[in-house]
């Protein structure tokens, strides 16, 4: 195995620090408000040094999303290893994880409509490949859960998939946390209930 040079180690550590800062700033401010100058200042490096790693704000956001998707794939892999869990349990576990990440301030907040960012994301092979892997595994669990009665078979699977993705950027989490009336765990349990059981009262 080739030995990594000290210079390359420094560059990797710096890149990790940049992405950690980007994730936090995107979670706090969103893509439109975050600036490259803020990222450089937060990491404690010159803007020119940052551009040695990432050429644009869009590339920074794409790298942050790849990092989150890598974490998601790791989470999915761990869930797949649990053969005793039902597909519905696995989907709930994924939703729980995304909410935990968002409440921890580690989920990038990106605009739904932004041509420059959208172009950067759809042309980023690492992002597209990881998003496809996550979507395909969730799709397998959704279809299986519909077939065994865990989820409503009348709803198209893509509707359920997009609903799960929406939980990762649900503003209700932040609003309830800011209110200070509930713990993070209580917030997650309530939103899991609304996501998988709906708002209607349970039949007597």
Give the CATH number of the domain where residue 118 resides.
1.10.357.10
Distance CA 34, CA 42 (A): 11
Residue 47 lies in a domain: no
Residue 128 lies in a domain: yes
Mean pLDDT, rounded, of the chain = 90
Q: How far is CA 170 from CA 4, 100, 111, in A?
A: 40, 12, 13
Nearest Cα residue to 130 out of 75, 87, 54 = 75
Residue 150 lies in a domain: yes
The domain tally of the chain equals 1
Distance CA 51, CA 164 (A): 34
- Per-residue pLDDT band for 66 (boundaries 50, 70, 90) equals very high
> Could you read off the pLDDT of 84-99 as tens digits, one per residue?
999 999 999 999 999 9
Residue 202 lies in a domain: no
36-50, 93-107, 109-123: segment of lowest average pLDDT: 109-123
Domain span including residue 112: 57-197
- Per-residue pLDDT band for 113 (boundaries 50, 70, 90) equals low
Distance CA 98, CA 173 (A): 11
Residue 146 lies in a domain: yes
Distance CA 152, CA 141 (A): 13
Distance CA 195, CA 167 (A): 8
- Residue 161: other Cβ atoms inside 10 A: 18
Sorted by sequence, the CB contacts under 8 Å of residue 175 that are 6+ apart come out as: none
Residue 137 lies in a domain: yes
Residue 32 lies in a domain: no
- pTM for this model (two decimals): 0.86
> Could you read off the pLDDT of 176-198 as tens digits, one per residue?
999 999 999 999 999 999 999 98
Residue 203 lies in a domain: no
């Amino acid at each position: 195995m080739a030995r990594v040079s000290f210079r390359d180690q420094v560059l990797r550590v710096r890149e990790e620090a940049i992405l950690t800062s980007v994730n936090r700033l995107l979670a706090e401010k969103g893509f439109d408000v975050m600036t490259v100058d803020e990222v450089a200042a937060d990491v404690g490096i010159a803007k020119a040094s940052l551009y040695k790693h990432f050429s644009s704000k869009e590339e920074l956001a794409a790298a942050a999303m790849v990092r989150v998707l890598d974490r998601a794939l790791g989470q999915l892999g761990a869930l797949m290893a649990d053969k005793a869990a039902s597909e519905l349990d696995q989907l709930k576990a994924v939703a729980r994880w995304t909410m935990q990440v968002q409440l921890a301030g580690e989920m990038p907040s990106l605009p739904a409509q932004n041509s420059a960012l959208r172009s950067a994301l759809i042309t980023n092979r690492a992002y597209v490949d990881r998003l496809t892997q996550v979507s395909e595994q969730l799709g397998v669990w959704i279809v299986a859960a519909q077939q065994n009665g865990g989820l409503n078979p009348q709803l198209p699977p893509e509707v359920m998939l997009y609903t799960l993705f929406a939980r990762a950027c649900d503003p209700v989490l932040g609003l309830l946390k800011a209110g200070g009336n509930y713990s993070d765990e209580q917030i997650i349990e309530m939103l899991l209930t609304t996501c998988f059981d709906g708002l209607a009262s349970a039949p007597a």
